[in-house]
Amino acid sequence: MNPVLADVVKLLQLERIEKNIFRGESRDIGSPQVFGGQVLGQALSAAHNTVEDRAPHSLHAYFLRRGDFNSPIVYQVERARDGGSFSNRRVVAVQHGQPIFNMAASFQHLEQGLEHQAEMPEVAGPEGLQSAFDIRQAILDKVPEKMRRYLAHQPPFEFRPVLPPNFLNPVKLPPIKHVWMRACDRLPDEPALHRNLLAYISDYELLGTATLPHALRFDQGHVQMASLDHAMWFHCPVRVDQWLLYSFDSPRAFGGRGTSRGMIFTQDGKLVASTAQEGLIRVKH
C-alpha cells in the first residue's frame, strides 16, 4: 500500500486502553495544530469499536481546543443507547488533561426504505485534471516557509479540483467548488475503514469554500481559520479508493464565521454522504 495512505490507516487503528477508552497517535501535516479530519476519523473509529452489526449514519462534532500533534489523543466513548435499530455514542477526545473535541454519532441496522437524492452537478470528470498536489508543488518557492510546510505535505488522497485554485493571485468567485478525490491506493474490503477514512477526508477543502467570494491571500499570513463544528451524514456504503466528487457551497459568512456544505458523489452519480461545517474566519488588517 502507498506508505502515506498506510500511515493514515494505521492512525485510525486505535489502541484500546480499557473497554470504552482508546488512544490514537497524531501526525504533523504542516498546520499549526492536529488536522481536524484526523480527530474526526479517530473519534468515529473509537465509536465503531463499541458497536456491532450497525453502521454510522450521522455524526455531529465540535472542535473545542487546538490539538497537539506531538502528543497522543485519548478517546473516551460513552455508550449512550443501544436500541432495537439505533445505537448512539458520545465521544470525547482528551489531550493534556483537557477535552479538545466532542462528538455524538448514531449507528443503524441497514434496512430498506424510501429513496431519493439530489442530482450530481454536471462537471468535468477526473480524467485529465491536474492534481492539487502538483499545483501546490509548482508554487512552493513563491510562498513563505510556514505556508510551504503545509502545501508540501503529501496527503493520503489524490485531489483533482475541477477549477484549479490560484493561491498567489486569487480572484473573487462564487462560493462553489468541486473536487474529485480518491485514496492513493487500493484499500481492504472493510466498510468501517472506508467510513472512517471518509470522515478523515471530509474536513479537507470544506471551510475554504466560504473564502472564495473574498479573494483572500493566504500567503500573507493575515488570515486565521479554524473548524468550529462538523456534521456528516453517511447515506449508503462507499469505497474511498474509487473516484468521488466532493461538491461544496457556502451559503453564508458573518461575524467572523463561515458556513460550508458538501455533497459526496460516486463517479456514476450516487450521493453517498453529506457534510456541513462552520468555522472561524478572521482577517487581520
Residues tagged active-site? 203, 227, 277
Q: How far apart are CA 98 and CA 150, in angstroms?
A: 26
3-state secondary structure 49-108: CCCCCCEEEEEEEEECCCCCCCCCEEEEEEEEEECCCEEEEEEEEEECCEEEEEEEEEEE
Q: Are strands 176-183 and 157-161 parallel, antiparallel or unpaired?
A: antiparallel
| H-only helix segments in 139-280 | 145-151, 191-201
How far apart (Å, rounded) are the C-alpha atoms in residues 226 and 211? 12
Rounded to whole angstroms, the Cα distance separating 8 from 197 reads 8
User: Exposed e or buried b for every residue in 192-207, given b needs 16+ CB within 10 A?
Assistant: ebbbbbbbbbbbbbbb
> Is residue 262 within 8 Å of residue 191, measured between CB atoms?
no
Question: Burial of 96 by CB count in 10 Å (0-12 exposed, 13-18 middle, 19+ buried)?
Answer: exposed
DSSP 206: T
Under 8 Å between Cβ of 103 and 90: yes
Degrees, nearest 5: CA angle 43-49-55: 85
Grid cell, residue 104, equals 455524538
The CA distance from 147 to 217, in Å, is 11
